């Protein structure tokens, strides 16, 4: 153990100089980044299980509940209507910019993100595989048409001109905590094309990631020189499976996260350190 970069707390590594090992792996190139909610906490978006997620008071929406229950959909869209304003205003932090810079330097083979906030792209990253989709899009469950979230927000404002609930604590999936009284009179809108149910173009709990997207992530992992996990506890199989896939093929795994992760046993190096400071220090160490 030793002091992390930029005055960060102690870093745990799988033996030796963990930060130096990370720099060596990244400098070799062909790095595939797998990012999670912990990368966006410095942008004001809490995670599910890390330091900012411990105070979460609301359970995430499941796909089955969303489809079956009109009241659940009303509650979700009311909360998400307010939460989207905060997500849309969030700006990329130093960690997102560092990932984009690593890509610009030709050191990345690809980026897989479990996040739905679009902050990688806002920082300038390209060809990001959004494993769980993106909150900036809406999909109709009947006809499959995808439309802009900004268009939906205009329609929701028009349908609820006198709805003035105050935003409470934001959750990682882009909604906020509201009471039953606050959501009771909220009006939901349907697909303009066919009248079907609208859903954010993200993977809810209980819903499967499209197989083609999973295959693309596996293929990208197999081509990696290193799989670099950033800000994910890897608690759910959705991201953890790619760490296992890399380890089974002797592809080095490096992890930077606040706290222990499910994938630490597979990692050549695992740093318990703040993402922004660590990735900024990594860029500086690699030079221009």
Catalytic residue among 96, 132, 245, 266: 132
Q: Which residues are annotated as a binding site for NAD(+)?
A: 36-56, 114-117, 231-233, 257-259, 275
Binding-site positions for Zn(2+): 140, 143, 191, 194
Which residue shows structure tokens 């797998």? 34
Contact indicator for 35, 111 with CB cutoff of 8 Å:
yes
Beta strand residue intervals within 51-114, DSSP E: 108-113
Q: Are 165 and 178 in contact (CB under 8 A)?
A: yes
The reply to whether 132 belongs to the active site is yes
Write the CA distances from 239 to 8, 202, 261, 263, 281, integer angstroms: 26, 15, 11, 10, 25
Instruction: Look at residues 191, 183, 184 and name the one whose alpha carbon lies nearest to residue 155.
Output: 191
What region does 6 belong to: left with phi over 0, alpha with psi -120 to 50, or beta?
left
Closest to 173 in 3D by CA, of 44, 47, 257, 68: 47
Angstrom distance (rounded) from CA 53 to CA 183: 23
Which residues are known to be catalytic?
132
């Amino acid at each position: 153990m030793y002091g992390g970069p930029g005055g960060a707390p102690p870093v745990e590594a799988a033996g030796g100089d963990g930060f130096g090992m990370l720099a060596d792996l990244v400098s070799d190139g062909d790095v595939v980044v797998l990012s999670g909610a912990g990368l966006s906490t410095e942008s004001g978006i809490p995670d599910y299980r890390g330091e900012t997620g411990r105070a979460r008071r609301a359970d995430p929406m499941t796909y089955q509940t969303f489809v079956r229950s009109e009241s659940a959909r009303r509650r979700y869209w009311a909360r998400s209507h307010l939460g989207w304003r905060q997500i849309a205003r969030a700006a990329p932090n130093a960690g997102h910019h560092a990932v984009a810079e690593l890509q610009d330097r030709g050191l990345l083979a690809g980026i897989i993100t479990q996040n739905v906030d679009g902050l990688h792209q806002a920082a300038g990253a390209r060809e990001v595989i959004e494993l769980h989709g993106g909150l900036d899009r809406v999909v109709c469950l009947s006809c499959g048409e995808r439309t802009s979230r900004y268009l939906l927000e205009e329609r929701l404002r028009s349908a609820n001109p006198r709805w003035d609930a105050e935003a409470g604590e934001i959750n990682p999936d882009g909604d906020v905590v509201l009471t039953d009284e606050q959501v009771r009179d909220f009006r939901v809108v349907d697909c303009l094309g066919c009248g079907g149910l609208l859903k954010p173009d993200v993977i809810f709990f209980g819903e499967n990631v499209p197989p083609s997207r999973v295959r693309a992530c596996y293929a990208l992992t197999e081509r990696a020189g290193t799989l670099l996990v950033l800000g994910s506890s890897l608690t759910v199989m959705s991201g953890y499976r790619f760490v296992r896939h890399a380890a089974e093929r002797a592809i080095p795994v490096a992890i930077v996260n606040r706290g222990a992760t499910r994938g630490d046993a597979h990692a050549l190096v695992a740093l318990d350190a703040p993402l922004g400071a660590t990735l900024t220090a990594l860029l500086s160490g690699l030079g221009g």
